[in-house]
Amino acid sequence: MTIELVQDFIESSKDKYIQLSDEIWQYAELGYTEQKSAAAHIAFLKAAGFTVREGVAGIPTAFVAEAGSGGPVIGILGEFDALSGLSQESLALSCCPSTEISNGNGHGCGHHLLGTSAHLAAVAVKNALERGGIEGTVRFYGCPAEEGGWGKTFMTRAGLFDDVSAAITWHPGVANTIMNLESLAVKQAYFRFKGVAAHAGASPHLGRSALDALELMNIGTNFLREHMIPDARVHYAITDAGGVAPNVVQPNAAALYMIRAPRNRDASELYERICNIARGAALMTDCELEIEVHSACSNLLRNTTLNELMQAKLKQFGAPQYDSEELQFAESMHRTTRPEEVEMAGRMLASAWRQPKALFDGVDELYNDRPSKMHGSTDVGDVSWVTPTVQCMTACFAFGTSPHSWQWVSQGKSALAHKGMTLAAKTMAATALELYTNPLLLAAARTELKERLADEPYVCPIPDGVQPPIPGRSA
């Protein structure tokens, strides 16, 4: 009965949510600045009868929408931030910046789809709870700044998931599968050096170069790479090179470092080693050093109980059907990929199947004993440490096209994307409804999480005093 309620409700409602997704694609707002995107979601949720708490966790674009009463409480997580520098014309088959969107951003990770599909799933669950007379509470979490701002980590630190019985989400992708992944934990920090300015020709001996200090730090970090654990990653962006005048000993220089490792404790240890390298660079150049934690997120904890449940629901709905025009578009987009991109997409699947077609058909197998390694990161990880969490992926893009690329932006308003987000909404809603009506399954998922936390309890990787890095907010 509940499956039919989900199927019928989502099919009858999907068109207006497709319009919402396309609207958010058009806004293309960066993390912590998603005012229009958040407002559009909130307006829809209020119209659907949800009670909305806005500005939660001290973040203006974060919100929690709730419907129903009593337990269990099932949280469905949505995102809506875009990426900088990925402006792109919709449906174009080459890299072509948009003439309509002036901010230079683009939804290169599909978060316009992610948030809208999760939103639709939450509304479908509300409808099914009411029509089926089922007790429980459904929450939709509007989560900003997943792309390096780690909004969900700040929301977790604020206790917003503490009373959630289980959390459900998804991610747009190139296959229909369960995200049976192990992601990397992250520590992110600014390293700012302060020296003394001087004339580089007449009196360089009177200067203390902050740029020298920063370069020495970067060199020291590069030498460290040989001695890190193999799955660790370190990236940096120079945010202040001190200026453009070469005849000045540069008095200021800074970089933002992103430090990744398999678990929180690994990331913390590597972070301290890099802090020591920065301190050494400051000593060598007689400069001052300021280290400011920017943000962080935890590695993802899988939940095999929920993985198996969501896999069953995904298989029950099955892959979308495509018409000849959609298949032709996918073929054209697939031809823009490189062989190594197609291979990488296949490597992410549990079966390691190399997809020979432009569009993924069917549902990938789930092997809970063989999780995939994802050397990226997600703030869903922090939620997964405090409540059992599960996520699926559905095919929204031609196979082999990569996230954070112009191809994903181009396909973001295509029929492929819309069909994938609709399948994800059905899968999430059906998974949630099973948890309301099957308390033993929910108990098993919570027991599994407790066992995983036995040797390492959750500690938020962002210190209490660190505030969300909202543009324009003073420290």
pLDDT beneath 50: ranges in the chain: 475
Q: What's this model's pTM, rounded to 2 decimal places? A: 0.94
Neighbours of 161 (CB within 10 A): 23
* C-alpha–C-alpha distance, residues 423 and 98, integer Å: 28
Q: At what angle do helices 111-132 and 35-47 cross, to 10 degrees?
A: 10
- Tell me what pLDDT residue 3 has: 80
**Pair 434, 166: CB distance under 8 Å:** no
**Pair 448, 304: CB distance under 8 Å:** yes
- Tell me what pLDDT residue 346 has: 84
* C-alpha–C-alpha distance, residues 42 and 141, integer Å: 11
Query: CATH 3.30.70.360 occupies which residues in the chain?
Result: 185-297
- Which residue's structure tokens are 């909004």? 151
CA-angle at 332, arms to 330 and 333, nearest 5°: 65
Both tokens of 416, joined, read 């492929």
Query: CATH 3.40.630.10 occupies which residues in the chain?
Result: 2-182+300-452
Neighbours of 166 (CB within 10 A): 26
- Tell me what pLDDT residue 352 has: 59
Neighbours of 473 (CB within 10 A): 11
The alpha carbon of residue 278 and the mean position of all alpha carbons in its chain are separated, in whole angstroms, by 29
- Tell me what pLDDT residue 1 has: 53
DSSP conformation class of 230: T
- Tell me what pLDDT residue 342 has: 87
CATH assignment, 2-182+300-452? 3.40.630.10
* C-alpha–C-alpha distance, residues 410 and 207, integer Å: 50
Instruction: Assign domain 185-297 to its CATH architecture.
Output: 2-Layer Sandwich (3.30)
- The pLDDT tens digits for 177-235 are 999 988 999 999 999 999 999 999 999 999 999 999 999 999 999 999 999 999 999 99
* C-alpha–C-alpha distance, residues 73 and 253, integer Å: 48
- Which residue's structure tokens are 């301290």? 272
Residue environment code for 346-380, b if the CB has 16+ CB neighbours within 10 A, otherwise e = bebbbeeeebeebbbeebbebeeeebbebeebbbb
Distances (CA, A) of 265 to 275, 289, 291: 15, 24, 19
Both tokens of 44, joined, read 């829809």
Neighbours of 236 (CB within 10 A): 17
Neighbours of 233 (CB within 10 A): 17
* C-alpha–C-alpha distance, residues 28 and 85, integer Å: 11
